[in-house]
Amino acid sequence: MGIFYFYEMKKILLFLLFGSILSVGIAQNCKPDFTGFYYYKISDDNSAVLRFFENGEVIATTSSNKYDEVETYFTLERKDLMLHGKYKWKKCKSSFKVKGDTGEQHYNVEKKGENMVVTITDKGSGKTVTQTYSFYNLTK
């Protein structure tokens, strides 16, 4: 019984170790959700909005809090009307800049569950702010 117990414990420990490694690998491969956008409520009427696209493009703007209407104008076809740029995702993070007629901003983002912790630095003023953006699913 002693040898059998040892081999069973060894199998259980290997299984737990493999499961831990697998779960860490999955957690580190998180990417933005493309079925909606991320938002931070600035006031009762307005939000900062960030939308990622599968082709590596990102759009950043402010919007009214009528999120169901955002889908109609927050598209790649209209990106020149907003700040836009390219992103690359590594593990759960990305760093990118967006530009447009109103200026340029640098973003550092980290996805945490369905939310994103977003640090924005405005090139013109040099001011930096960190906010937690929530996700809004457009496919509801």
Residues 25 and 69 in one domain: no
75: region left, alpha or beta (phi > 0 left; psi from -120 to 50 alpha) = beta
Domain count, the chain: 2
Same domain, 133 and 101: yes
C-alpha to C-alpha distance for 133 and 59, rounded to whole angstroms: 14
Is 73 found in the same domain as 48? yes
pLDDT of residue 27: 47
Give the residue numbers spanning the domain of 7.
Answer: 1-30
Are the C-beta atoms of residues 136 and 39 closer than 8 Å to each other?
A: yes
Judged against a pLDDT cut of 90, whether residue 57 lies above it is answered with yes
- Same domain as 38, residue 13: no
Write down the pLDDT at residue 55.
96
CATH for 86: 2.40.128.520
Are 56 and 24 within one domain?
no
- Residue 81 and residue 19 share a domain: no
> Quick check: 63 and 70 in contact, CB under 8 A?
yes
What tokens were used for 79?
């990106």
Q: For the whole model, what pTM was predicted? A: 0.77
**Mind listing the pLDDT tens digit for each residue in 77-134?**
999 999 999 999 999 999 999 999 999 999 999 999 999 999 999 999 999 999 999 9
Is residue 27 a contact partner of residue 7, using CB atoms and an 8 Å limit?
Answer: no
Residues 26 and 36 in one domain: no
For β-strands 103-112 and 115-122, DSSP reports them as: antiparallel
Asked if residue 70 and residue 59 are part of one domain, the reply reads yes
Judgement on whether residues 20 and 39 belong to the same structural domain of the protein: no
Q: Verify that 98 and 42 share a domain, yes or no.
A: yes
38 plus 6 within the same structural domain: no
Amino acid at 11: K
